[in-house]
Amino acid sequence: MAYLVSSNLHTPLTLFCTEISINDVRNAGYSNARRKRRRFGHSENRCALQCCSSTSSRSSSISTSFSADQKSQIENGSRKHLEEEEGFLACEYGWRVRRLEEEADEMRNAAQVQAEAFHVPVLLFNDLFFQFFQAEVLAGLLYKLNNSPPNRYACLVAEAASGDPDSPKQIVGVVDATASRDKEVLQLLPSEAQEYLYVSGIAVSTSFRRRKIATTLLKACDMLSILWGFEFLALRAYEDDWGARTLYSNAGYKVVSRDPPWMTWMGRKCRVLMIKRTNFPN
């Protein structure tokens, strides 16, 4: 499964109580105009779709860059998609994905979904440790939203589509998307690639798993990468997590590298790096 902490920013590790974190969210001071700009990463310094003519590649498993005509087609298709879906980045299998609204209740709900997915149960005082972990996830989310431009980080959330009467209108899935330029990843991309979209923190509510929510979240990440002008997406998964790796492979990701063997000597599980090139919108 992709990792929860994905940003280049250093998420604070101090454990806060839930009540204090929620108050911090309420007092964050975001204006309505800034929320609207954040919805799809609109800003004065928004990343432009860059045309690359070089066809050289550092990895045979990764395709080369889009042509100018292809990028124009992608940008036009992205705008059409957004108009058709009324602002949702993806709408498939009865689910739709949008950008997280920076409101206390919604941020708390998103943090709960991720905390449930990534919390490691303990034998004693598990409920207490879960509350601490959930508060830390919420504090990290607030930190990233406070310190990231709207076209550098996004928390995407999935909910039931309006035409699905059997599912409640609630956040059932979450994923983080961060603009990144890690040299370890860039060396596996074509030489002209300077940045990519890093996907992490994919989490689905326990009672809604195996219903294509994660697939829809990944499709939304594809669309976001197009809107932000990134040709490649990357994520990491545990090498022995075949369920997650199958999900990512079906979404178009390919394994391009693995953690060095010495990392397992430190008691850490081996991870694989998976990369995909952005698909054309339908």
| Positions marked catalytic | 248
Buried b (16+ CB within 10 A) or exposed e, 116-137: bbebeeeeeeeeeebbbbbbbb
Q: Is the dihedral of CA 232, 233, 238, 240 positive or negative?
A: negative
Return the SS3 of 113.
Answer: helix
User: Which helix (DSSP H) or strand (DSSP E) does residue 90 occupy?
Assistant: strand 90-92
Of 176, 169, 202, 201, nearest to 95 by C-alpha is: 169
d(CA 4, CA 158): 16
83 half-sphere exposure, CB direction, 13 A CA radius: 6
